Amino acid sequence: MNEARFIDALRRLPLHPGARGLEDDCAVITFGSETLVINHDMMAEGTHFRADADMADVAWKLVAANLSDLAAKGAEPLGVLLGHTLGREDARFLDGLNAALEAFGTPLLGGDTVAVSGGRTFAMTAIGRATHTPVPARSGAKAGDAIFVTGQVGRAMLGFEGDPAHLTAFNRPVPRLAEGRALAPLVSAMMDVSDGLLIDCRRMAQASGVTFTLATDAIPVADPARYDDCIRWGDDYELLFTAATDVILPIDAARIGQVSSAGPAPLVLGDVPLPGSDNLGYEHG
């Protein structure tokens, strides 16, 4: 199975209502007057980081990737659980983990440690408290909304390729936690850009049952000469969101397109419909 088919199969299992049909990056569970936002992400050697990567950077990025999902829900992090595979430079991993947890004000709650004979995989569960309800979902975009993205896309790609101006964007991304909390009361839908702007736009459009039309010249890219790569590569951890066209945003973000009723394709780039997900971004399997 590839990633999409496996997730489809999971949807046939008993699901908690808070799982949101597995159409979102986080589970949302209400207890009395509080709402918890929970997500789980993994990083694998050879897929998410090189075998010779600085393990301090790997630990930082594991934390940042998980907290980025909380940011897209406007959640305040409460703590994380770590799944750690023992191996080289465990002390460096702990250094990076400590630096990230301190930088983002997020304590460690516990976890598990194992030893394996093959490549290393790390996992983390992040738990946050919703600062606004209803908690933003992927599925709330409405016809007539505008589409926005924070920052520039493509910076992580350039950092991965060794561009010194963008190394930090790849090795030590910073989740948009404050921006997510500011946006949560105003957006109709929101998620983070982890697998590529195009594929994540398509996912949000599909979850919402609408079409996203992107204006090619409005998308902020880190390198205009690599435009096509920048909008597909991913790992940027920017916020992608939709909101009413007359909303006054409390943060800086670029308006990159418009939401319309469902058309022949969930995603249109300029005037070109993109009906499938092939070559739009990263998918496992």
Domain map of the chain by residue range?
Answer: 3-130, 138-273
Q: How far is CA 188 from CA 54, 132, 134, 279, 283, in A?
A: 38, 13, 10, 27, 25
Residue 91 has pLDDT above 90, yes or no: yes
Rounded to two decimals, what is the model's pTM? 0.93
End-to-end CA distance of the chain: 7
Q: Residue with structure tokens 């709330």?
A: 140
Residue 36 has phi, psi (to 5 degrees) of: -90, 145
In whole angstroms, give the CA distance from residue 70 to residue 65. Answer: 9
Mean pLDDT of 176-189: 98
pLDDT of residue 275: 79
Residue 131 has pLDDT above 60, yes or no: yes
- Topology at the third CATH level for domain 138-273: Phosphoribosyl-aminoimidazole Synthetase; Chain A, domain 2 (3.90.650)
pLDDT of residue 282: 61
SS3 183: helix
In whole angstroms, give the CA distance from residue 227 to residue 217. Answer: 10
What letter would DSSP give residue 45?
A: B
What letter would DSSP give residue 135?
A: P
Mean pLDDT of 180-187: 98
The β-bridge relationship of strands 121-130 and 189-193 is unpaired
pLDDT of residue 285: 46
Q: Binning pLDDT at 50, 70 and 90, where does residue 118 land?
A: confident
pLDDT of residue 277: 65
Give the least confident one: 8-12, 134-138, 188-192.
8-12
Q: Residue with structure tokens 């990083």?
A: 43
The 10s digit of each residue's pLDDT in 260-277 is: 998 889 999 999 999 776
The 10s digit of each residue's pLDDT in 18-65 is: 888 878 889 999 988 999 999 999 999 877 888 889 999 999 999 999
- The domain 3-130 is classified under which CATH number: 3.40.50.150, 3.30.1330.10, 3.40.980.10, 3.40.605.10? 3.30.1330.10
Q: Binning pLDDT at 50, 70 and 90, where does residue 116 land?
A: confident
pLDDT of residue 215: 98
Residue 84 has pLDDT above 70, yes or no: yes
